[in-house]
Every structure is written in structure tokens, then in C-alpha cells.
Amino acid sequence: MERGKYLALVGGGVLLGSVSTFFLLRLLQSQKRGVSQCSKNVTADFNGVEGCIISGKKNDRVVNEDLLKDDIVSEQLTRNIQFFGFESQQKVTTSYVVVIGLGGVGSHAASMLLRSGIGKLLLIDFDQVSVSSLNRHAVATRADVGISKAQCLKEHFFSIFPECQIDAKVLLYDSSTEEEILSGNPDFVLDCIDNIDTKVALLAACVRRGLKVLSATGAGARADPTRIRIADLRESTNDPLSRAVRHRLRKDHGIEGGIPVVFSLEKPKAKLLPFKGPSGEEENPSHYQIVPGFRVRIIPVLGTIPAIFGQFMASYVVTELAGRHVQTEPVVNFDMDHYHTLHQRLIEHEESLYGTSIEVQVDVEEVMYIVKELWHGRSAREKLVKDVGRGMWRSVNELMLVRWDRTKPASISNLILLKFKEVDEHESQTLDDIKENEPEFYSRVTAVLKRAELDFAL
């Protein structure tokens, strides 16, 4: 009798637990479906593309500053807090970032921004997940094929970091959507667009609005992750997309540079594939464009490279927001022969000026550090990038290392790179003269040389 009561009690508990679990799962699924559907009353037409805001919990502009006080959130971000410190991670968690373009590059960038604790994200893309995009997308599965990329990311992101305020919009960026996308004073904008017209318009708008922006150039048809760099747009080489963007920004908007970009030094391994219509014959791809100006021909993509581009972007943005600026590797196209030449030139100059080279305290390897890491292969007097690619190779023929302070040895923290024509004027002045007459130049050089002291613990 007692055994029967016991079994009945256990059975009832199991039944009650099953029913509760069933209804809880139904509730979560209904909430997920609420996030999945475009609200019919907020659709609009943008250049022939129907846009919508993915419904879900309301996103306010103000990010919760107490987010890190939540035990689960602080545990989830504990490794970041250990890396940055609490106050720096707090800057990240209270930041607002806009990601435009959610394909291979943008989906990975957005995913790692979320996992790094960004407090608010705005996700923008007008396109849908396709089967062929699964080789490079950060989170999409076959079940996501056919839904918008913005919707796909928001659904997956909600299960990773639900405390993040995520706003997802199915929109095409253009002049009519600029205010909707760029308003709200975002802390950073990520340009992950692969269309030239749209990319140029977005970058110009960010410059005009004074917004920090990081742009991705072409990640397709490349395979070498060791050649990916972050540098000023002026320095991006071997990339047809960045070349076209540079030209258009300069011609149409008077923008010479000042925009950081992620790019690859690797030359593309393949070209756009020929476009074939329904008949199987090659046809004019412009006849099949849904949106004018957007590419319909296919470029071969090794999925790992756009993923790494996106990771680069997320890392750059998170460290910038945390106040931990990373000194990226400069793009300097010198080889060891160039550094040997500059080292020998320094020795000869010391012997000519002082009668001996005994106070030259650097070897070729240290010359490479000074030229590449400190001065980026350019004269210390150059504020803007002028020589890139082959132009930089030619520029080495007019550069030499000289002492900053003539009263101290030619050491790793006392050498600057100048053009031949700048050397005589520099050596005719004292540091006090430079400090008084050119305070900005003096401060800039001393800051760079201070870095050498820190790097070598001098």
C-alpha cells in the first residue's frame, strides 16, 4: 500500500514536471517566433528592397550601466574583465556599435562583439541567408536559409547574450536610410559592405558625422591569413575594392584618408566568375540585378578568410572602446637589403659628422624595428601617408637615420628617420629650438621615442 502511494506520488511529480517543461518550451518558442517575424506595420520600400524592423524586446538608446553587476553577465565576461580590468570592460559593455553588412565578414565581427560584451548592437542587412553562404557565415544553419541575415543573427544572439540590446533591421544603406541607421551617436560603425557605391556613401557619411568607422575591403579569392592587416585606407594595397573606394572618396568627397580598414596584402587568387543565365549561356549580369549597382557575379571565397577579417574588426573595435589602443603592424614594403642599406648609411653619416661610428649602438635588426615599428618606413616629418607599395620602395633611396638629440649616442631610442633634404636643417638646430619653434613635431617625436624605451625597457 505504502509502495503504491510512493509510486503514485513520483509518477504525479514526473507528469507535473513534464507538463511544466512542455509549456515552458512552448513559451520560449513563441518568444523566439516573436523575434523571427518582420512586423508588418513597419515595412517600407528602400530602393526596391522591402525593409523591416525585426520585432522583439524594445531597445532604448541608453545602455544599462549596471550590466556587469549581474552575476551571470560578470561570469560570462570574466575573462574579458581579467584582461581589460573592470572599468575598461565597463566602457565596452556600455557601448553602442552598428554593423552594416552581415555576410561572411560582418556576421563574425558582430558575433565576437556580442561575445565581448557590447551592450547595444544595431544589425543592418537587406539580404537573406543562402545555402552557399553557409561556408562563411558565423552562426547560420540550413534551417536559417531563406530568412533575413539580420533576423538570423538576432535569433542566435539572443541565446548567447540576451542582456545585449539588439536591434536588427532589414535595410539597404543609402541616403534615405542614413538617418535611421547612423543616428543615436554610435560609438563605432563597422562597414562590412562589398558594394562600392554603398561603401563610399557610408564612409563619407561617417566622416561627415564625425563617427568612428572601421571598413573591411575585399576578403574573397584569398587564402593567406598572415597577410591581413589593419591600416589607413591610403595604405591598403593589392585590393581592387579599396583602390576603387580610395578613388571615389577622393574624387567625390575630398576624403584623402583617415579611415582605418582591414585588408589583405595578398593578391587575389581568382577573379569574378562569368555570369550564366537560366539557359546556361553567359549573359550580361546587370540584367539580373535586384538592386542597381550590386554585384551578381560570384567571386570564389575561402570561408576562413572573411571570418578572420571579421575577428580582426571585432578585436580592433573592442580594444579601442576599452581604451587599450593596439599598435597595429605597419605596412612597410622593405626587405632586409633595405635595412642593411639604412644601417650602413647611418654608420657612414656618423663617421662623416663625428669622425667615428663608435656611438652607433644599433644593429640591422634594431634598425628594422626603428624604421618599421617606430617610423613606418617614412620620414618623421610626414604626418600623412604618401608612399605606399612600390612608391615606398623608391622612397628608401632618399631616407636615412640620424640622431634626435646630438648630445646622446645613436641608440634605439634616439634615432629618427628623415629625408636627405631634411637632415641638414635638423642637425643645425638644438632640441630646444625644435621644442620652441615646432612644439607639435617635438611632442610627436618624443612620444614615438618613448615607445622604444618602453618596448626595450630602457
Q: Which pLDDT value is given to residue 41?
A: 39
pLDDT in tens, 119-167: 999 999 999 999 999 999 999 999 999 999 999 999 999 999 999 999 9
- Give strand ranges (E) for 303-387: none
Distance CA 417, CA 330 (A): 15
Residue 114's CB is within 10 A of a number of other CB atoms, namely: 24
pLDDT (mean) for 270-294: 52
Distance CA 90, CA 67 (A): 8
pLDDT at 229 over 70: yes
Among the residue ranges 287-301, 305-319, 395-409, 432-446, the one predicted with the least confidence is 287-301
Listed residue (364, 370, 371, 346) closest to 356, CA to CA: 346
Between 26 and 276, the higher pLDDT residue:
276
Between 286 and 381, the higher pLDDT residue:
381
pLDDT at 37 over 60: no
Mean pLDDT of the chain: 83
Among the residue ranges 25-39, 59-73, 172-186, 423-437, the one predicted with the least confidence is 25-39
Provide DSSP, 58-74: ---SS--TTGGGSHHHH
Distance CA 209, CA 278 (A): 44
The percent of residues in the chain predicted with pLDDT above 70, rounded, is 76
Q: For cell 555570369, what's the residue?
A: 275
pLDDT at 106 over 50: yes
Q: Which pLDDT value is given to residue 332?
A: 66
Among the residue ranges 30-34, 51-55, 271-275, 405-409, the one predicted with the least confidence is 30-34
pLDDT (mean) for 190-210: 95
The residues near 101 (Cβ < 8 Å, ≥ 6 apart) are 124, 125, 190, 191, 192, 193, 194, 216
Between 181 and 335, the higher pLDDT residue:
181
